[in-house]
Amino acid sequence: MAEMDWKHTIRDLKGVVLDMCGVLYDSGEGDGVAIDGSIEAVKRLKASDLQLRFCTNETQATREKFVAKLGRLGFDICVDEVFSPAPAAVTILKERGLRPHLLVHDDVVPEFDAVEKTDPNCVIIGDAADNFSYQNLNKAFQVLIGLEKPVLFSLGRGRYYKEMDGLKLDVGVYMKALEYACDVEAEVVGKPSPVFFQSVLADMGIQPSQALMIGDDLVNDVGGAQSCGMRGLLVKTGKYSYRWCLRPQFQKVTAVTPSAAAHAFMPRRLSVATSLSDHSELFMVTEEKPRDESSCTDACIDSVPGDVTRLTQWVQNL
């Protein structure tokens, strides 16, 4: 049954959506570093007849600066191909006549230039990193608690991400903090919000069943995509190994690299080379929408053991 579903996915595949941080590159000091094979994976997908978009919860820079950074790392990506939460939030603010108090990274503030911010009637938090001081979080709290009906937007709900010097707390952690302080539920803009994925699909002009999401986050990438009817593929880069490899049920089941995924799922997959044979990882596909990471057990995982050659054979045989 699961294999039949994947057969349809591969037959009907018209577009691929790639997560960025942890899939294309690891962030850290300076620009970070490209992940092995990912620059070639993007090239290969662009050379195929698949549509390609990039979907990120990155809120530490404007899209322009972000794309420029990826360019310096060797990626050929345009601003229009990138979907990120800040522009999506601006659209919502305009539609609803809201004026935000911002608790975000300094470098993403220009995305909100066109938005009225005096006398705020909502709060927006992004991945503010060092701006998440006690003083700044308290200020956001005071704005929220002072509103008759507190409105909180969170640009993503991630728990943490990997930088070159270790794991770092993500915006979701501070979202939970303010939710508890003010007894409100935040509106999440960005992954895993279905609205966010739907905007990417609309831009490609394809149906959910024709799209594959590739990411390193089981909840935000794979789960979010599945909520929209897309297929999700987890890669074994970025935050993956740090959390999962400690759990007994996952020790035998790991995931592919972005490069291997691009190989296996592009239509010209018959031509994939054996140059990736050093990636002797297993292949993991979640078949059920994961509600949260802790609820993911073997039961919702369809594992296809084998190295990249065997993965490619599996895809070809579907």
Closest approach, Cβ 197 to its own copies, in A, equals 23
100 contacts 56 by C-beta, under 8 angstroms: no
Residue closer to its own copies by CB (options 1, 246) is: 246
Query: CA 43 to CA 27: how far, in whole Å?
Result: 21
- Indicate whether 73 belongs to the interface with its own copies (CB under 8 A): no
- Indicate whether 5 belongs to the interface with its own copies (CB under 8 A): no
Residue closer to its own copies by CB (options 37, 156) is: 156
Among the candidate windows 73-81, 163-171, 225-233, 263-271, which touches its own copies by CB under 8 A? 163-171
Closest approach, Cβ 148 to its own copies, in A, equals 7
Query: CA 148 to CA 255: how far, in whole Å?
Result: 47
94's tokens: 């305009």
Residue closer to its own copies by CB (options 76, 292) is: 292
Cβ-proximal residues to 63 (8 Å cutoff; 6+ apart), any chain: 79, 82, 84, 86, 87, 111
Q: Which of 179, 203, 288, 302 binds its own copies (CB under 8 A)?
A: 179
Number of shown-chain residues binding its own copies (CB under 8 A):
36
Q: Which of 148, 202, 271, 317 binds its own copies (CB under 8 A)?
A: 148
103 contacts 126 by C-beta, under 8 angstroms: yes
Residue closer to its own copies by CB (options 135, 271) is: 135
Secondary structure (3-state) at 87? helix
- Indicate whether 151 belongs to the interface with its own copies (CB under 8 A): no
Cβ-proximal residues to 77 (8 Å cutoff; 6+ apart), any chain: 42, 54, 67, 70, 71
- Indicate whether 107 belongs to the interface with its own copies (CB under 8 A): no
Q: Which amino acid is at 49?
A: D
Q: Per-residue x/- mask for its own copies, residues 208 to 247, rule CB under 8 A?
A: ----------------------------------xx--x-
- Indicate whether 248 belongs to the interface with its own copies (CB under 8 A): no
**DSSP H or E run through 152:** strand 152-155
Closest approach, Cβ 163 to its own copies, in A, equals 10
Q: Which of 118, 271, 294, 317 binds its own copies (CB under 8 A)?
A: 294
User: How do beta strands 100-103 and 122-125 pair?
Assistant: parallel
Q: Where do we find the tokens 């909100």?
A: 112
Residue closer to its own copies by CB (options 69, 176) is: 176
Give the burial string for 2-13 (b: 16+ CB within 10 Å, else e).
Answer: eeeebeebbeeb
Where does this chain bind its own copies (CB under 8 A)?
Answer: 128-135, 137-138, 141-142, 145, 148, 159-160, 166-169, 172-174, 176-181, 183, 242-243, 246, 292-294
